[in-house]
Structure formats: C-alpha cells, structure tokens
Chain A
Amino acid sequence: MPCEDYPMPNSTALEVFNCEFLTMRCRLLDLAAAIDRVGRADGQVADDPRWQQLQQAIGVITSPDGNRAERVQMTFSLPYVENWQNKREG
C-alpha cells in the first residue's frame, strides 16, 4: 500500500511505523485467516513439521531480538552440514 509521506531513510521508528502499520496489520490478518482456514478444514496438521516451523517462526516475530527476517528464514532452512564433502551419500 503506497504511503504518500514515507519518511527519509534516517527517519524515526514512529515515522516508519506510521507508514508500515496498515500493511503489517493486513498481512497479520491474512496469516490469521489462513490459520483459521486450516483449522476449519477436516483433519489436523499439528504433527506436520511445516506447521511446527510456522509456530516457531511466529515466535521469532514476536521476540524482542532483531534480525527477525533472517531468523525466520533459518527456521525454514535445513541446517548446514560441516565437512559435507566427506559425509554425503550418493
């Protein structure tokens, strides 16, 4: 959603928040509605690893620490295997 008064790059957190708020709210509602949609459907996905990843990612978003986008990415990533050259199977 365009913001006519988007602040300059060195602006305050409140100025950035003012411009991002409606987009954040919209995406949060999309997420909540999608989770509800899954919940209304037959069966359950609680044991699905992807569902657990989602729960973990939501926890990252609400945590006080920074780098949330990077940490959410890692939530959905397979781990790096050290010395993979020697360990990989055909």
Chain B
Amino acid sequence: MHFIDPHIHIASRTTDDLQALARAGCLVVGEPAFWMGYDRSGTSSFYDYFRQLTEWEPKRTANHGIQHYAWMGINAKEAENVAFAREVIALLPEFLDRPNVLGIGEVGLHKNTKNEVCTLLELIELGVNRNEQMLFHTPHLADKYQGTRMILDLLHADSRTDRNRVCIDHCEEHTIRLVLDGGYWAGITLYPTTKATPERAADMVEMYGPERILVNSSADWGPSDPLAVPQFMAAMRRRGHPESLVRRIVHDNPLTFLNQSVHFNFRQPD
C-alpha cells in the first residue's frame, strides 16, 4: 500500500532512508521548516535553509520517486528573539510563492513564553492574509497541554481562521480531543520515546475515528524512525483493521488535507 508522510525532516535524513521510504511505498513527503538542532546565527542561514527545502531536498527525494513539498516558517525555539524572528518572517513570502510550498509551518510554541506568542501571532497574521494552509507544532512533554490550549485560544480568537485548513501537530492522548472538537486536523507523531507510538496512535484512531487524523514520522536528527508510518500501518493490520481504514489514515486523509493547498499537485503513480 502506498502512503504519504505529511511531516518528515528530509534534510536530516540519509539517502539510505530515502531508499527505504521509497521501497516501503512512500509517494509524497511534507517537510516543515524546523529547528535544525542549533540556533542559526543570522537570517542568511534561514534563507539558505529555505532554499535547501525548496530546491535541493525535492531533487533528492525525486531521485527515489518521492514527491516533496515544504512548509515555510520560523520554529518556536528560534522565535524568542522577536526582532530577529521578524526579519526571518520577512523572508517567507518569497518562498511561500514557490510552487512546491504548502503553506506556513511548522510554527507554534515551545516553552509558551510571551515572546513566542508574539512571533506566532505575526506568523498567523501572515498566513491568514495570504490565505495559506497552516501547520502548528505543539510543545514537548510537560508544556504540551498548556501550549496546545494556548495555540487553540489564539486561533479561536481569530474568526478568519479556516479550521479545516489547519493541522495541529504532535497530538497525544491529552490534546487530540481538544483539537478534533475544535474542527482542526490532528497530527499524531510517531516517536520511539516521546510523543506517540504506533500502538497508541492506533488506539487514538479507534477511540476518535479516522476523521481529520494524520499520522507522521516527523523523523529528524533525533531519535525517530523514517518508517514510522509503515509501523503504524502494521499495528493497524495486526489488530485486524481493514485495509480501507489503514489507507484512509495514511493516504486518503493526507491527500484531502494537502489538496487544499494551491501548490499541491499530487501525481498518482501509474
């Protein structure tokens, strides 16, 4: 079965990983801009990173038959310096216009500070004004519940938000209901030790149904598995779920969500 990984950091992965993804049936990847493991020293570093995501990584994945799309933004970990973040945000329109960019992402909160909120509001304003799809990162561990609710508060307060074009990512058992009840798409990230495991993701699908749920590997430079989505598929099959349900979560749902982006031009393989 073919699948789509709507959130994976290809820039942090090897060619071997791309080969493994292709062999496992991956058709499309979505790569959000994120924190590369160190704070960048200037806006030119971000400019080159955005070029990497929109020029170089699509070529690498295309060599393995995988279509690549990117999301543009400044991550919460580098958003604390509001003036610096504002300079990075000024770079975004040029890249949002590129034909392989889906929208604003991944943006959100990390430690839920006032400055992070200030930067996030400017990113939301940019996204709303440009009618962009948006992908939100929710905080890690102890900060996740509060940060997720704060992001939802910000979005609820803006009547211009099209909730069906927003994904709140890294949902877990204590946040997914809030996101789905709010009318947003809920992303579940499959990680070995933090976030959700394939089995727990299958639990959440069983509890809440398949509507507006996406699963992703968010594989990056840390402990993560680029084949986490196939692991989820295996967990679903092991429980006896029909192929139609598995396909809906890993193929149909991401297509439905991503198709709302004006730049998404999926080509189904022959």
Residues of A bordering B, CB below 8 Å: 2-3, 6-9, 11, 67, 69-70, 73-74, 76-81, 84-85, 88-90
Contact = CB atoms under 8 A, between A and B. Distances in A.
21 contacts: A3-B238, A6-B239, A8-B239, A8-B240, A9-B240, A11-B240, A67-B173, A69-B200, A69-B203, A70-B174, A73-B172, A73-B173, A77-B142, A77-B144, A77-B145, A77-B174, A78-B143, A80-B145, A84-B153, A85-B153, A88-B114
A25 B142 CA distance: 27
Contacts of A6: 238-240
Q: What does DSSP make chain B's interface, helix, strand, loop or mixed?
A: helix
Interface of B: 113-115, 117, 141-146, 149-150, 153, 172-174, 200, 203, 206, 238-241
Contacts of A81: 146
Contact of B240 (A7, A70, A89): A7
B186 to A, nearest CB: 14
Contact of B146 (A7, A11, A77, A89): A77
A76 B238 CA distance: 30
Given A2-B238, A9-B240, A78-B145, A73 B174 contact: yes
**What 5 pairs between A and B have smallest CB-CB spacing?**
A73-B174, A8-B240, A77-B145, A70-B173, A69-B173
Given A7-B239, A7-B240, A8-B239, 20 more contacts: A3-B238, A6-B240, A8-B240, A9-B206, A9-B239, A9-B241, A11-B240, A69-B203, A70-B173, A73-B145, A73-B172, A74-B174, A76-B141, A76-B142, A77-B142, A78-B142, A79-B145, A80-B145, A84-B146, A84-B153
Listed residue (B113, B150, B239) with the most chain A CB atoms within 10 angstroms of its CB:
B239
Contacts of A90: 114-115
A63 to B, nearest CB: 16
Contacts of B113: 88
Nearest to A79: B146
Contacts of A2: 238
Contacts of B206: 9
Contacts of B143: 78
Contacts of A80: 145-146, 149
A48 B142 CA distance: 15
A8 B173 CA distance: 23
Nearest to A77: B145
A67 B203 CA distance: 11
A76 B31 CA distance: 29
